[in-house]
Amino acid sequence: MKQKQILFLHFSYWLLVLSKNIFAIITSQNVNIDILNLTIFTASFLGFYVNYFFVVPKFFNPKKLYFTIVGFFVGVFFFALFRYSLEEILLPKIAGFRNYAEDTSFTYYFYDNVYYSSLTIFVSTSLWLFTYYSKLERERSQLIEERKHAELQALKTQINPHFIFNSLNNIYSLVYQNSEKALPAIEKLGELLRYTTKDLEKEFIRLDQEVGYIESLIELEKLRIGNPELLIVEKKISQSGVLISPMILVPFVENAFKHGDFRGKGFVVSISEDMGKLNFYLQNFKITREKDKVSGIGIENVRKRLEILYPKKYELHIKETESEFIVDLRIDLSV
């Protein structure tokens, strides 16, 4: 809860108490009673904030309830002390009268004021506890957000080296073959690295930027594939301003190229967005071979990031057979 809301609760309580006292003074025809209303209000105010700022913070212990109970009676003690000082010491000297009989002991005064002070001390303690637990909840939420941010940054740093490793393998193959496609491939990789270096630092980028990255990646991969016409990309984006976390979709495409069978076969990527609802579909054929131990890094990254960034706002279905790999991802990107 924000500080302004806490202050509003304090203000509302005292406005209610003050209104009650003003009404009592207006309707009363006894000056002495009017003065006693003021002394009770003053004692309540002083007792409230001594309890709020000093007593409860000192005695509150969620693991030891008796500490809190002792603290309650300490708060009552201060209320009684303030009222006793006003009504039994100050008033006789100033106004010539007192509230209790002259020989009333402080012990009896304290006992009698348990009733009068209970509401004040209860509200004071309750507001402190409310503020205390609101602060704990705010700090807990902040820690969770910081942990999420740190985890996301760690996951992103895993994605980028994985992509570089895959691309360098492809370019190495072109250079080894003395292919004329090697230099354009290096240039395209440089463009993509500049893109990822810039956008991975951001929490969110435009969806069309993420799609543009995928298209550039596919263009890079086409340089090493004999039948690039088999790489089918379909896209339909209705709102260019829709935001998405960078590198959410890319690992699926990387995985398809790393493990895909392009010998007379290709793959299909379909990306559509309508009113903030993203549909991503990928289908490719796999090369039958022993599974690479690091191949799942990108996919597992995506699962973790989706759970952190879009809890209950996404559906991810992956179907994998001996020869085929299908990804069907739906994310609600609307704010």
- Do 129 and 269 lie in a common domain? no
Q: Are 44 and 113 in a shared domain?
A: yes
Residue 92 lies in a domain: yes
Mean pLDDT, the chain, integer? 82
Is 161 contained in some domain? no
Q: Is residue 24 located within the same domain as residue 98?
A: yes
CA 83 from centre of chain: 46
Q: Are residues 194 and 52 in the same domain?
A: no
Lowest-pLDDT choice from 64-73, 241-250, 295-304:
295-304
At 273, which CATH number?
3.30.565.10
Mean local confidence (pLDDT), 232-249: 86
Residues 112, 21: one domain?
Answer: yes
Write a three-state SS string for 110-125: HHHHHHHHHHHHHHHH
Question: For the chain, how many structural domains are there in total?
Answer: 2
Task: Please give the average per-residue pLDDT across 89-93, as a whole number.
Answer: 87
Give yes or no: residues 135 and 208 share one domain: no
Mean pLDDT across 267-274: 92
218 and 135 belong to one structural domain: no
User: For 233, what's the count of Cα atoms within 13 Å in the CB-facing half-sphere?
Assistant: 14
Q: Residue 155 domain-assigned? A: no
201 and 313 within one domain: yes
Asked if residue 320 belongs to a domain, the reply is yes
b/e map of 135-144 (b: 16 or more CB within 10 Å)? eeeeeeeeee
Maximum distance among all Cα pairs of the chain, rounded to whole angstroms = 111
pLDDT grade for 293, boundaries at 50, 70 and 90: very low
> Whole-angstrom Cα distance, residue 184 to residue 173?
14
Shared domain for 195 and 76, answered yes or no, is no
pLDDT, tens digit, 9 for 90 and up, residues 182-225:
887 888 787 777 766 777 778 888 998 888 888 888 888 787 77
Residue-number span of the structural domain to which 108 is assigned: 3-140
User: Is 166 inside any structural domain?
Assistant: no
Pick the last residue of a domain from 92, 118, 140. Answer: 140
Tell me: do 193 and 98 sit in the same domain.
no
Q: Is residue 157 part of a domain?
A: no
SS3 of residue 327 by DSSP: strand
Report yes or no on 100 lying in a domain. yes
Structure tokens at 212: 């543009």
Do 197 and 328 sit in the same domain of this protein? Answer: yes
Does 165 reside within a domain?
Answer: no
Predicted pLDDT of residue 161: 63
Question: Could you say which of 125, 140, 155 is where a domain stops?
Answer: 140
Residue 295: pLDDT band with limits 50, 70, 90: very low
187 and 249 co-located in one domain = yes
Cα–Cα dist 134/126, whole Å: 12
The one-letter code for the residue type at 190 is G
Task: Give the whole-angstrom CA distance, residue 181 versus residue 224.
Answer: 8
What is the rounded average pLDDT of the residues 72-76?
A: 90
The answer to whether 158 and 301 are in contact (CB under 8 A) is: yes
* Pair 223, 254: CB distance under 8 Å: no
CA distances from 277 to 208, 288, 306, 331 (A): 14, 35, 15, 6
